[in-house]
C-alpha cells in the first residue's frame, strides 16, 4: 500500500489507517473475535496505522487493540488519545500535565507496548494553556514513552501555539464529502506548518455508504443522538447519498469507495482512518485505491457538503470543537 508522511519529524504510515473505535464503542454490539480478525486482515492488506483512544469504552478499545497487535508490533503505528474527563459519559476535558502523563502511562499498560507512536490531545482544554499541555507531552517524548505528537479538532491559532512548543506531526479532524469546514482555515494552516492531516469519519459515520437506516439504529448507538442522523436530517441528507451512489455507478464502485477515494485525492498529506469492525467492510474500503475520480465525477461531488443537514455533534459536544 502507498505510504504517506505525517509531518516532517519522520512519521510515515499507510495511506489509509483503521479507526478502531467502533469495535468496542459507539456503534452497537461488539464482536471481539471479528474485530481482532479485522485488525489482522488490515495488516495483511498493508494497513499499519491504527487509531484508538482512552475514552473509547472507556478503556476497552485500547485493551482490544493491544490484544490484537500483541506479537505484531513490528512496523505498526499505534495512535491513541487523552483529554476527556468521563464518568457515566463524557463530563468535560482535562489537559493538565498531570492528566497527560497519567493517561499515557495507563494507555501504555492497556496497549501492552513500550512507546505510543502518535499521542493526540483528543480535545483542547480551554482552562489550561496549550503550551503547558504540549510541554508535558514533549516530556513524554524525552522519556521515550511517546514518539510523535498530535492534536484533534483545534483552531489554527491553537495549532500554531502548540507547534511552537514542539513540532506537531498530525492534526485529526472530521473531514468528508458532507463535512468540509476545515478547508477554510485549518487545512491551509496545517500545510503551512508541515503537519499531516488525519480525517476521521471520512464516511460520515457510515451515512455516506448508503447502508445506514436511522430507524434501525440500536439503543446504544451513538448516532441516535447525532443531529445529522435525526429522521428529518437523514431524509434531507439522503440527497447526498444519492449523488454519491450515482458517481459510484459511473466508476463501477460502491458509495463507500467513492467517498474514500475523494478524501484520498485531497493531498498526499491526508491519511483517512475509516472505522469498521468487520473484515468485509475493511476490504471494501481498501478498494477505494482502485477508484479513479475524473474531472466530471469530482465536479458532481464538489458541492454536496453545502446540502448537509444537521450539525456534527450535539451543542454540548460542539463546544469542545475549535473552529
Q: Which CATH class is domain 3-206+263-292?
A: alpha beta
Per-residue cell: 270: 491526508
In this prediction, residue 62 carries a pLDDT of: 98
pLDDT of 158 above 90: yes
pLDDT of 164 above 90: yes
In this prediction, residue 33 carries a pLDDT of: 97
What proportion of the chain, given as a percentage, has pLDDT over 70?
Answer: 100
In this prediction, residue 88 carries a pLDDT of: 80
**Cβ-Cβ contacts under 8 Å for 185 (sequence gap 6 or more):** 155, 156, 323
Strands (E), 175-299: 196-200
Computed over every residue of the chain, the mean pLDDT equals: 97
pLDDT band at 26 (very low <50, low <70, confident <90, very high): confident
pLDDT of 317 above 90: yes
pLDDT band at 90 (very low <50, low <70, confident <90, very high): confident
Please give the angle made by the CA atoms of 139, 197 and 307, to the nearest 5 degrees. 140
In this prediction, residue 89 carries a pLDDT of: 80
User: Which positions are catalytic?
Assistant: 56
pLDDT of 94 above 90: yes
Whole-angstrom Cα distance, residue 185 to residue 171? 13
Query: What are 272-301's pLDDT values in tens digits?
Result: 999 999 999 999 999 999 999 999 999 999
Per-residue cell: 230: 435525526
In this prediction, residue 46 carries a pLDDT of: 98
Query: What are 63-75's pLDDT values in tens digits?
Result: 999 999 999 999 9
What proportion of the chain, given as a percentage, has pLDDT over 90?
Answer: 95
pLDDT of 30 above 90: no
Whole-angstrom Cα distance, residue 68 to residue 72? 8
Give kind and range of the element (H or E) at residue 261.
helix 255-264
Structural domain boundaries in the chain: 3-206+263-292
The mean pLDDT value for 11-25 works out to 97
In this prediction, residue 84 carries a pLDDT of: 95
In this prediction, residue 262 carries a pLDDT of: 98
Q: pTM value?
A: 0.97
Query: What are 172-222's pLDDT values in tens digits?
Result: 999 999 999 999 999 999 999 999 999 999 999 999 999 999 999 998 899
Whole-angstrom Cα distance, residue 96 to residue 83? 9
In this prediction, residue 91 carries a pLDDT of: 84
CA-nearest of 152, 179, 196 to 53 is 152
- The total of other beta-carbon atoms located within 10 Å of residue 154's CB is 24
Amino acid at each position: 500500500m502507498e505510504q504517506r508522511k505525517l509531518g516532517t519529524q519522520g512519521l510515515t504510515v499507510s495511506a489509509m489507517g483503521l479507526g478502531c473505535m467502533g469495535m468496542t464503542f459507539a456503534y452497537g454490539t461488539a464482536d471481539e473475535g471479528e474485530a481482532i480478525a479485522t485488525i489482522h486482515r488490515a495488516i495483511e492488506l498493508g494497513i499499519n496505522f491504527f487509531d484508538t483512544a482512552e475514552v473509547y469504552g472507556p478503556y476497552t478499545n485500547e485493551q482490544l487493540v493491544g490484544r490484537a497487535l500483541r506479537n505484531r508490533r513490528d512496523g505498526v503505528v499505534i495512535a491513541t488519545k487523552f483529554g476527556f474527563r468521563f464518568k457515566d459519559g463524557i463530563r468535560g476535558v482535562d489537559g493538565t500535565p498531570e492528566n497527560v502523563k497519567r493517561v499515557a502511562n495507563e494507555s501504555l499498560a492497556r496497549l501492552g507496548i513500550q512507546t505510543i507512536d502518535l499521542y493526540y490531545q483528543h480535545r483542547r482544554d480551554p482552562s489550561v494553556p496549550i503550551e503547558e499541555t504540549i510541554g508535558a507531552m514533549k516530556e513524554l517524548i524525552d522519556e521515550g514513552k511517546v514518539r510523535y505528537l498530535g492534536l484533534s479538532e483545534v483552531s489554527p491559532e491553537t495549532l500554531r501555539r502548540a507547534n511552537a512548543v514542539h513540532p506537531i506531526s498530525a492534526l485529526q479532524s472530521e473531514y468528508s464529502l458532507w463535512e468540509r469546514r476545515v478547508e477554510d482555515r485549518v487545512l491551509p494552516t496545517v500545510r503551512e506548518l508541515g503537519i499531516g492531516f488525519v480525517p476521521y469519519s471520512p464516511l460520515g459515520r457510515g451515512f455516506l455508504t448508503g447502508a445506514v437506516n436511522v430507524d434501525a439504529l440500536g439503543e446504544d448507538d451513538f448516532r441516535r443522538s447525532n443531529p445529522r442522523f435525526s429522521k428529518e436530517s437523514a431524509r434531507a441528507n439522503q440527497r447526498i447519498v444519492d449523488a454519491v451512489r450515482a458517481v459510484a455507478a459511473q466508476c463501477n464502485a460502491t458509495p463507500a469507495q467513492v467517498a474514500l477515494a475523494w478524501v484520498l485525492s485531497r493531498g498526499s498529506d491526508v491519511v483517512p482512518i475509516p472505522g469498521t469492525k468487520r473484515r468485509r467492510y475493511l476490504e471494501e474500503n481498501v478498494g477505494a485505491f482502485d477508484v479513479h475520480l475524473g474531472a466530471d465525477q469530482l465536479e458532481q461531488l464538489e458541492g454536496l457538503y453545502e446540502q448537509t443537514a444537521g450539525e456534527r455533534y450535539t451543542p454540548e459536544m460542539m463546544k469542545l470543537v475549535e473552529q
